Amino acid sequence: MIKVKTYAKINLTLEVLNKRSNDGFHNIQSIMQNINLFDILTFKISKSKLNNEIILSGNVSSIPYDNSNLVYKAIDLFLKKACIQNNKFEVYIEKNIPIEAGLAGGSSNAAATLAVLNNYFCNILNQNELDELCCILGSDLNFCLKGGTCLCTSRGEVVQKLNDIKELHVSLIKPRYIGIKAFYAYKKYSEQKIKIKNDNTIKLAKIIQSNQFDKNFLYNDLETQLVNEFDEFMYIKKIKPSAIMTGSGSVFYIVNDTFDYYDFNPDKYLIFNNIKTINKGYEVL
């Protein structure tokens, strides 16, 4: 049995630069930061008489456990790249990170899966090969593999390690019945007529590199259009104007503050108070 914690991330900044002509993605600049909200993956690896078997299960019914799951895709891609055969992989996914929330839950699961398998098979792939697999699977995986505090550019897969931020206290809130897919958030951003350019990412990166932090530079380009589309988002911003959306949503976060339970109906909102920043993307237990 191998167990690994896979940590969520928040975007301290997310700025959209332009739309790419070659693949339809957007070029961004973003500072991503891990927090100690995590899923736990349990791996059981054994020999198989068949070519390879991948069997997923978990504690929630809202995610698929078939070949559309990022963990399944990560295992399959790794085995093909490493030319490994005749193994059975059983993975139990204990989900605590909300899905379609901008927290990179699925991406962190998949990145940690690649790291676990590579370690199990005696580092058969080098770091560049692992990074290439991450890039194939999604835009956030390269960050999830590196972890901590990072400047992410291109579509998010080009990752530069920054000085790890001294521990911050973060609180999260998610409308229970709203999940947003990234393509929809970027589509709404593209429809926005006036696009603000403030270069907060580079400004905050310089501050972080001087071992300081300034929450006044927290920012997300994708937030404006989406806030106006959902009453729940508008209510969050009304109660906590400093709340910032992470990724493509639907989670908002605040730094060094908490969401008061009496302000938010627990039937409509899920709150995570007293979360802390952390300097790793995953942790083998």
Active site residue 9: yes
Portion of the chain with pLDDT greater than 70, in percent? 100
Report the chain's mean pLDDT, rounded to a whole number.
95
Q: What is the pLDDT of residue 198?
A: 85
Q: Number of helices (H) and strands (E) in the chain: give both, helices first.
A: 8, 12
Higher pLDDT, 191 or 273: 273
Options 5, 9, 146, 174, the catalytic residue? 9
Kindly state the average pLDDT of the residues 229-254.
96
pLDDT band at 184 (very low <50, low <70, confident <90, very high): very high
Q: What is the pLDDT of residue 119?
A: 97
pLDDT in tens, 108-117: 999 999 999 9
Closest CA to 149 of 159, 157, 158, 139: 159
pLDDT over 80 at 195, yes or no: no
Of 5-19, 42-56, 160-174, 191-205, the least confident: 191-205
Closest CA to 46 of 1, 94, 80: 1
Q: Using CA atoms, how far apart are residues 273 and 248, in angstroms rounded to an integer? A: 21
pLDDT band at 85 (very low <50, low <70, confident <90, very high): very high
Options 39, 131, 140, 221, the catalytic residue? 140
Half-sphere exposure of 40 (CA within 13 A, CB side): 7
Domain-wise residue ranges, the chain: 1-285
Kindly state the average pLDDT of the residues 143-165.
97
Kindly state the average pLDDT of the residues 249-263.
96
Phi/psi region, residue 158 (left: phi>0; alpha: psi -120 to 50; beta: rest), is beta
Q: What is the pLDDT of residue 90?
A: 98
pLDDT in tens, 201-241: 999 999 999 999 999 999 999 998 899 999 999 999 999 99
Q: What is the pLDDT of residue 160?
A: 97
Question: If one looks up domain 1-285 in CATH, what number appears?
Answer: 3.30.230.10
pLDDT in tens, 19-77: 888 888 899 999 999 999 999 999 999 999 878 999 999 999 999 999 999 999 999 99
| DSSP letters spanning 43-62 | EEEEE-SSSEEEEEEES-SS
Active site residue 203: no
Q: What is the pLDDT of residue 172?
A: 98
